[in-house]
Amino acid sequence: MTGPATDVWTVMSTARTIRRFTDKPVDEATLGRCLRAATWAPSGANAQEWRFVVLRSPESRAVVAKAAEQALRVIEPVYGMTRPDDHDDSRRARTNRATYELHDRAGEFTSVLFTQKRFPTASELLLGGSIFPAMQNFLLAARAQGLGACMTSWASYGGEPLLREAVGVPDDWMLAGHVVVGWPQGNHGPVRRRPLADVTYLDRWEEQAGPTLVTEAPPS
């Protein structure tokens, strides 16, 4: 399916990562609704120590493209990725083809850098609980409006110093994540996930949960 969706269960179950986008720009009102949804997320002590940086100027996009290029050099050997042959229509080839297209066109799209204030008493993992829900809200709001979105690793690896310097992010703020957003080529979802019964335990590790708890059917 594609296009907007208002039912929360449909939105969550079809919010597939989108890596291929049209040339149509994302208007400010639509993007603004995604950002507003991000601010509705919970954060530790309701501190809301997050900042969202929209990257859309030619200069910002050029830096994003450099960060994407550096990230690709890191992830290729990690995932054993190579550019697929034009005639390879396997699932892995289709996924890799979309990934390479996203990296090749990285400088063409609007994206958002998510940052979180550091606190000396909290680990980065703990602080993630105060920014990752905002990112998830952003992704779901994008899907609800028919947008496509993709979380990237471009603000990590060698891309972090590039983006930090270009944006002017202070040292006491973390670059927590980066999301590319645009109008999708192709359709949304359904997402492919492991069966709930395989990842849910009851009371003790590896204690299988009952069939009622791990039902796969959303409410009607």
Within-domain flag for 100: yes
What 8-state DSSP symbol labels residue 212? T
Q: What is the reported pTM?
A: 0.94
Cβ atoms of 26 and 183 closer than 8 Å: yes
Query: What's the mean pLDDT in 68-86?
Result: 94
Q: Does residue 216 lie in a domain region?
A: no
Which stretch of DSSP H or E encloses residue 113? strand 110-117
Name residue 174's beta-bridge partners: 116
Tens of pLDDT along 123-167? Answer: 999 999 999 999 999 999 999 999 999 999 999 999 999 999 999
Q: Which of 100-104, 152-156, 166-170, 210-214 has the lowest mean pLDDT?
A: 210-214
Q: Report the C-alpha gap between 56 and 199 in whole angstroms.
A: 39
Give the mean pLDDT of the chain.
95
202 close to 213: Cβ distance less than 8 angstroms:
yes
Q: How confident is the model over 186-211, as a mean pLDDT?
A: 93
Supply the pLDDT for residue 84. 94
Q: Which range is least confidently modeled, 60-69, 83-92, 109-118?
A: 83-92
202: in domain: no
Q: What is the pLDDT of residues 14-64, one digit of tens each?
A: 999 999 999 999 999 999 999 999 999 999 999 999 999 999 999 999 999
Q: What is the pLDDT of residue 220?
A: 62
Would 220 be classed as within a structural domain? no
Residue 213 lies in a domain: no
- The answer to the question of residue 2 being in a domain is no
Total domain count for the chain? 1
Q: At 189, which CATH number?
A: 3.40.109.10
Q: pLDDT band at residue 215, thresholds of 50, 70 and 90?
A: confident
Report whether pLDDT(219) > 70: no
> CA separation (Å) from 112 to 57, 86, 149, 168?
12, 32, 10, 14
Distant-in-sequence, close-in-space partners of 80: CB < 8 Å, separation ≥ 6? none
At 163 the three-state DSSP class reads helix
Lookup result for tokens 């005639």 = 87
Q: Which domain holds residue 186?
A: 8-194
56 domain residue, yes or no: yes
Cα separation, 169 vs 119, whole angstroms: 15
Asked if the model's pLDDT at residue 109 lies above 70, the reply is yes
> Confidence band (pLDDT; 50, 70, 90) for 3?
confident
Check: CB of residue 120 under 8 Å from CB of residue 89.
Answer: no
Q: What is the DSSP letter of 106?
A: G
Tell whether 207 is covered by a domain: no
Over residues 89-98, the pLDDT tens digits come to 999 999 999 9
Phi, psi of 188 (to 5 degrees): -85, 160
